[in-house]
Amino acid sequence: MGFMDKLKNKFKQNDEEEISTKYKEGMTKTRNSFSGKINDLIAKYRKVDEDFFEELEEVLITADVGVMTVMDLIDELKMEVKRRNIKDTKDVKDVISEKLVEIYYGDDDESIEELNFQQNELTVMLVVGVNGVGKTTSIGKLAHQLKSDGKKVVLAAGDTFRAGAIEQLEVWGERAGVDIIKQGAGSDPAAVIFDGIKAAKTRNADVLICDTAGRLQNKVNLMNELSKVKRVIEREVPNAPHEVLLVLDATTGQNAMSQAKTFLEATNVSGIVLTKLDGTAKGGIVLAIRNELHIPVKYVGLGEEITDLQKFNAQAFVFGLFADMLEDDNEY
């Protein structure tokens, strides 16, 4: 059985089907572009040779997979094709899907995608990222999801800088049905988060999600603000923050990568929330982030609905990328 057949069987199970449908729908743009180009290559070359790999390399690079990752992937593919004695280009597609998952995890296992929750204690998550990437929206969606999972969630409106950020978070708090702790615009974010921690503890919350301002224009300010906020969190809750989630907009491609690098210099980041994956044809950025920044993608935004923020899953991602391979039996 090929790798894609295995994925197909896996995602046919009831509890997994919804995930695969979300990824399949959300990744339509990337699939049409990426998979379409690979199909063209397969038809053009028929036989696996150097020229085929060279063009495949280009296709992967234009999908924003990242040059280093593409090099590794092509090397792996060449070895595997030789090992399995594959001659026809059409048989390479299944190997590509398998290697994409392998290269995503490297030496790690699937648990890298899980959020780090504390048992019987408050879990504090800090959410960072520049304005406009969908930070507030993602916090709202995440709060909704955690609440649906039975967790008591409190939000802290730490983005006191951007006009309207507090109100926007309030709207999301209402939508998700969770409490929000805020002060006025322009107040000290560290003070808001301090209040948030106190409130979360008093209300016996499981999770406190802290919004922050993303003033990337001035790296020193950003660093100072984030370190002040982190000092408060560390002092009030041992071993916190338990997650520092960096929100990046997938549609900004390489720009998202350079934003990420700046944030990594300012603070440590434990996971990425990659928004608007549905809005780009260059979904390969997921692989570049993981392999070049060495940070796992924990959530992806696959649409604007409250349920469209999905836990990242590399197998579902690859399934979304190649779902058209399975069209022939009309089940997907």
Ligand X SMILES: Nc1nc2c(ncn2[C@@H]2O[C@H](COP(=O)(O)OP(=O)(O)OP(=O)(O)O)[C@@H](O)[C@H]2O)c(=O)[nH]1
Q: Which is nearer to ligand X, 60 or 283 (CB)?
A: 283
CB of 112 to ligand X, least distance (A): 21
Q: Is residue 209 within 8 Å of 201, Cβ to Cβ?
A: no
- Closer to ligand X by Cβ: residue 2 or 253: 253
106 assigned to a ligand binding site: no
Tokens at 45, concatenated: 């070359």
Peptide bond into 241 cis (omega under 30): yes
- Shortest distance in whole angstroms from residue 165 CB to ligand X: 6
Please, is 300 exposed, middle or buried when counting C-beta atoms within 10 Å of its C-beta (0-12, 13-18, 19+)?
buried
Q: What is the DSSP letter of 93?
A: H
Please tell me the distance from the alpha carbon of residue 177 to that of residue 185, in angstroms, as a whole number: 23
* Binding-site member from 21, 62, 118, 131 for ligand X (CB under 6 A): 131
Instruction: Give the one residue of 20, 145, 160, 275 binding ligand X; rule: CB under 6 A.
Output: 275
Q: Quick one: tokens of 318?
A: 């690859």
The stretch near ligand X (CB under 6 A) out of 127-135, 194-202, 263-271, 313-321 is 127-135
Nearer to ligand X, 136 or 291 (CB): 136
Rounded-to-integer distance, Cα 269 and Cα 253, Å: 19
CB of 122 to ligand X, least distance (A): 23
Give dist(CA 173, CA 184) in Å, integer.
17
Task: Name the segment binding ligand X (CB under 6 A); options: 14-22, 91-99, 125-133, 222-230.
Answer: 125-133
Nearest residue to ligand X, scored by beta-carbon proximity:
301
Contact (CB, 8 A) for 286 and 313: no
Minimal distance, residue 78 CB to ligand X, in Å: 35
Q: Percentage helix, strand, coil, to 5, in the chain?
A: 60, 10, 30
| 218 vs 239 by CB, closer to ligand X | 218
Binding of residue 303 to ligand X (CB under 6 A): yes
Site for ligand X in 151-170 (CB under 6 A): 162, 165, 168
Q: Using the structure block, give the residue that is written with the tokens 């907009």.
A: 249
Longest distance between any two alpha carbons in the chain, whole Å: 66
Beta bridge partners of 247: 273
Tokens 């924003």 belong to 64
Tell me if 145 contacts ligand X by CB under 6 A. no
Residue 98 vs 225, nearer CB to ligand X: 225
Return the residue of 24, 65, 95, 134 that touches ligand X, per CB under 6 A. 134
Q: Is 301 in the site for ligand X (CB under 6 A)?
A: yes
198: nearest Cα among 128, 116, 138, 124? 124
Q: Does 310 bind ligand X (CB under 6 A)?
A: no
First to last CA, the chain: 18
64 is in an annotated binding site: no
The residue type of 233 is: I
Q: Is 135 in the site for ligand X (CB under 6 A)?
A: yes
Q: Extract the annotated binding site.
A: 129-136, 211-215, 275-278
Q: Extract the annotated binding site for GTP.
A: 129-136, 211-215, 275-278
**Interface with ligand X (CB under 6 A):** 131-137, 162, 165, 168, 275-276, 278-279, 301-304, 308
